[in-house]
Amino acid sequence: MISTVTNRGSLRFMLYEGALNAALFLTFLQRLVRSARRKLFLIVDNLKVHKAGKVQAWVAAHRERIELFFLPAYAPDHNPDEFLHNDLKQSLGRRPAATERDGLKRSLRGYLRRLQHQPERVRAFFHAPTTRYAA
């Protein structure tokens, strides 16, 4: 799963199989930009994929539509998206475990779609002292 949350309460996500690579990240960025009404300021961690040459070249070519900001190394508590991950793990952890991959994907997709209709809950990810900078 790759996701992004905004301080206005929106959530976007993409499910995929295998490891995240530059091509998948670019697909996600292209979807974000295509649906955005204004320039995106995206906070990312220091994952190698985020700094890949193809990604940096694409972002530079679309700098009027998107800009990436990198968190300091080893600072997951400053990443609002990590609050989503924690929320997701807690929620799915309270349910019966999926016994197959498709069941897990259905649970994950269902949870994320429900959360997309709860902007106040998404906005709460920006209330922590470590994420208020992005509010």
Residues 84 and 3 sit within 8 Å (Cβ to Cβ): yes
Q: What is the mean pLDDT of the chain?
A: 93
Q: Dump pLDDT digits (tens) for 16-31.
A: 999 999 999 999 999 9
Q: Which two tokens stand for residue 5?
A: 């949350």
Q: Give percent of the chain above pLDDT 90.
A: 81
pLDDT of res. 92: 78
Among the listed residues 57, 58, 56, 84, the one whose alpha carbon sits nearest the alpha carbon of residue 70: 56
pLDDT of 126 above 90? yes
Strand 40-44 with 66-70, pairing: parallel
pLDDT of res. 103: 83
Task: For the chain, report the end-to-end CA distance as a whole number of angstroms.
Answer: 24
pTM: 0.88
Which CATH code fits 2-134? 3.30.420.10
Q: Which two tokens stand for residue 20?
A: 């995240």
> Distance (Å, rounded) from C-alpha 86 to C-alpha 6?
16
Angle at 52 between CA 43 and CA 67, to 5 degrees: 35
| Average pLDDT for 77-95 | 88
- Exposure on the CB side of residue 50, measured as CA atoms within 13 A: 13
Task: Give the residues across from 2 on adjacent strands.
Answer: 14
Q: Which of 4-8, 93-97, 103-107 has the highest mean pLDDT?
A: 4-8
Q: Dump pLDDT digits (tens) for 45-66.
A: 999 999 999 999 999 999 999 9
Cα separation values, 2 from 25, 44, 61, 76, 96, Å: 8, 11, 22, 15, 23
* Domain range summary for the chain, segments of one domain joined by +: 2-134
pLDDT of 102 above 90? no
pLDDT of res. 79: 93
pLDDT of res. 112: 96
